[in-house]
Chains A and B, each alone.
Chain A
Amino acid sequence: MNQAARSVVLHGLVIALLVAMFFVLPEYHSGNLARILVLAVFAMGYNVLFGYTGLLSLGHALFFASGMYGLGLSIQFLSASPMLAIVIGLITAVVVSGVIGFLALRTTGVAFMIVTLMFAQAGFLTVLFFGKYTRGDEGFVIQRAQRILFGVDLSQPLPRYFAALILFAICLCLIAWMVHSRFGKTLVAIRENEERARMLGYDIQRHKLMAVIISGTMSGAAGAAYALLFGYAGASFAAVQYSILPLLYVLLGGAGTTIGPLIGTVFMFYLIDISSEYTDAYLLIAGLALILLTLFAPHGIAGILRKKLAWLP
C-alpha cells in the first residue's frame, strides 16, 4: 500500500471504530466520548500550529472561546438560528485568529508564547468585564429549543454524539489531507528549519499566518460545537486552563501526528475524570503529566508508536 492509501484506511478505521463505540459503550461513557470528540477537535486545531508548524501558543482558549461566545451570544441576543449562529461563531474565530496571528507572529519563541498568553488573558478578562451579557464565571445556558439543527434535537444523546463525530471526521480528513498537501509539507519545513525554508523562497510569514488561522478556526469550531451540543457557555472556557489543556492533549498523544490529539484527549480526559472522584486537586494530575511528558516522552504516545510503525501519518 502506498502512503495515501494507508492514510485513508487508517483514518477510515478510526472513524468506523468511533461509530461502533456509540452502540457498544454504556450511556455514561458514550456521553463522555461526545465531549472527548469535541475536545479532540480543539486539540487537532492546536496540533496544526504546535505539532506541524512548531509554534507553541499558550492562548488557544481565546480561539475556543471566540467560537463559543460567537455562537452563544448570537443565539442569546440576536435569536439567531443554530446554523446562522455556527457561521457567526466560525467567522468570529477566523477574525480573532487573523488579528492575533498578525500581531503575535511579529515575535518568535518565548515571546510568542507570552504574547499569546497575554492576549488570551485579556480575552478572558473581557468576558468577565462584559458580565452583564456573558454572565461571567456563572455562564449561561442555551435552551433546548434553540439547539435544533435541521430538525434534529442536538440535546439528545444519539444526535449529539453523531454531530460531534461528524465534526471530528471532517477535521480529521482535513488534517490528513493537509499533511500530504504542499501547504502542510511547507509547514513542516518551517518547523524543522525556518531559515532554510526562507532561503528556498517560501513566504514564511504568510504560511505561519495561515497556520494560525486554520488552527484558531478549528479551535473555534470546537468551542461553538461545545456550546451547541452541551448547551452552555461560561468564562472558565476562556481561562488559562483551556489554553494548557490542548497543549497537554497534544503532548500526551503525540505532536505532529494525525491521531495523536484524539489519543491524548481520551487518556487525559479519563485521567482527570477518575482522579476528580478522589480529590479536588485533580489538576495535580495535569501538572505531573506535563512534567513527566517533557522529561521522558516529548513525542507522546503516537510518537512512540511511530518508532515501531514508521508509516504512521
Chain B
Amino acid sequence: MDFGPHLFVASLEGAITAAVLALTAVGLSIVFGIMRVVNVAHGEFFMLGAVIAWWITSLIAGHPALGFTVALIAAPIIVGALAVICNRFVLHKINYEPERTIVATIGLLYVIQQTTLMTFGPEARPVEAPFNKRIALPWFEFGESGFALTWPWGLSTTTYKLAVIAAAVVILLVLWTVMTRTKIGLIMRATQLDQEMAQAYGIAVNKVYALVFGLGAALAALGAVLVVPIQQAHYLMGDDPLLLSFIVVIIGGLGSVPGTVLAAVLIGMSDGIISVFFTPTLAKILATLLVAFVLIFKPDGLFGKRRE
C-alpha cells in the first residue's frame, strides 16, 4: 500500500481507539470532576465489561446479535451496580479522602483483576460481532486519464467498526444532553461546583456520588463491550485503557467533559498514527512523560480553564 491509503487506514483505526477511549475517559472524568476521586480501578471496570460481555454471549445461543444486544445492556448495568457497591462499602467509609482513596482503589484494582484471573482464567477469549461486513474503501488517484477512484487491496474496514464510532458519538451526545438539559444533570453539576452548598439545598450528595461512580464505571464497561468483538476479552486488558484515560483526562483538563472528549480524539487518533512512525514503547514513553510535564507545568490541562 502507498503512504496515503496506509495513513487513511491508520486514522480509521485511530478513530475507533478514540471512540472507545472517549467513553472510558469521560467515565473517569465525571468521577473525578464531581466526586474528586481518582479511580485507579477504572481500567478494571472496563475489563469487567468485556469479560461479562463474553460470559453473556457464551450463555445465549442463536444469532450473535441477540447475545451481543443483551450484553450491551446488561454488562454496563452489572458493572455499574458493582461500582456502586464498591463506593458504598469502601470509598464512602473513608470519606473520599484523596490519598486513602487512591490506595483503596489500587486495592480494588488488584482484587477485581485477580478475581477475574481465578474465575475467567488467563486466556484471551473472543466475542463475535453482531454484524461484520467488510467494506472496501476507494482511494483517488491522478493517473493518465485524470482523476480516478481505485480500490487498493487491503484498504477496507467493516460495518461493525463504523458502527462502534457511531455508537460512541450517540452515547456521548446523550450523556451531554443529560448533563446539560435535565434535572439530574443539574443536580450533578451543582454537586460538582459546591458539594456543601448542594447538601444545604437538600441534594442527597451521597446518592449523587453513588450514581456518578456507577455511571462512570458503566461508561467504561460500555466502551469495553463495544470494542470486545474487535479486541478479545482478557483479564489484563484494563491496563492500557487506564493509562490512556489518565493521559486523556489530564491533558483535557481534570473534570472537564468537552476537554476530555477533545483530548480523547487527539490521543486516540495520534496513538494509531504515531505507532506507524515510532515503536509502541517509545510512543508510550513520550505519552507518559507528556502527562507528567502537563501536570507539572500546566496543571489545568492543555484545554482546561483556570480553576480558583
Write the residues of chain A forming the contact surface with B, with a CB cutoff of 8 angstroms: 56, 58, 103-104, 106-107, 109-111, 113-115, 118-119, 121-122, 125-126, 128-129, 244, 247, 251, 279-284, 286-291, 293-295, 298
Against A, the Cβ 8 Å flags (1 = close, 0 = not) of B100-120 are: 101110111111111101100
- Can you list 27 A-B pairs, Cβ within 8 angstroms, ordered by A? A56-B103, A103-B296, A106-B296, A109-B99, A110-B102, A113-B38, A113-B102, A114-B38, A114-B250, A115-B292, A118-B288, A119-B288, A119-B292, A121-B288, A125-B285, A247-B103, A281-B115, A282-B114, A283-B113, A283-B114, A287-B106, A288-B107, A288-B111, A294-B90, A294-B103, A294-B104, A294-B107
Closest B residue, CB atoms, query A120: B288
Size category of the binding interface on chain B: 35 or more
A57 to chain B, nearest CB (A): 11
The 10 nearest A-B residue pairs measured at CB: A287-B110, A290-B107, A284-B114, A291-B107, A281-B114, A287-B111, A118-B292, A122-B288, A294-B104, A287-B107
**Residues in chain B near residue A295, CB distance under 8 A:** 90, 93-94, 104
CB–CB B281/A128 < 8 A: yes
CB–CB A290/B106 < 8 A: yes
Write the residues of chain B forming the contact surface with A, with a CB cutoff of 8 angstroms: 38, 90, 93-94, 98-100, 102-104, 106-115, 117-118, 122, 243, 246, 250, 279, 281-282, 284-285, 288-289, 291-292, 295-297, 299
**Residues in chain B near residue A280, CB distance under 8 A:** 117-118, 122
CB–CB B289/A118 < 8 A: yes
A268 to chain B, nearest CB (A): 13
> Which of B98, B102, B108, B114 lies in contact with A291, CB distance below 8 A?
B108
> Which of A114, A282, A283, A298 lies in contact with B246, CB distance below 8 A?
A114
CB–CB A115/B107 < 8 A: no
Given A126-B285, A288-B111, A291-B104, A110 contacting B98 (CB threshold 8 A): yes
**Residues in chain B near residue A288, CB distance under 8 A:** 107, 110-111
CB–CB B110/A290 < 8 A: yes
CB–CB A122/B38 < 8 A: no
**Residues in chain B near residue A281, CB distance under 8 A:** 114-115, 117-118
**Residues in chain B near residue A113, CB distance under 8 A:** 38, 99, 102
Q: How far apart sit A283 and B236, CA to CA, in the bound complex (Å)?
A: 13
> Which of B38, B103, B291 lies in contact with A251, CB distance below 8 A?
B103
**Residues in chain A near residue B111, CB distance under 8 A:** 284, 287-288, 291
User: Can you name 11 extra interface pairs (CB under 8 A) apart from A104-B292, A118-B292, A283-B114?
Assistant: A56-B99, A56-B103, A109-B99, A110-B102, A114-B38, A118-B289, A125-B281, A128-B281, A251-B103, A281-B118, A287-B109
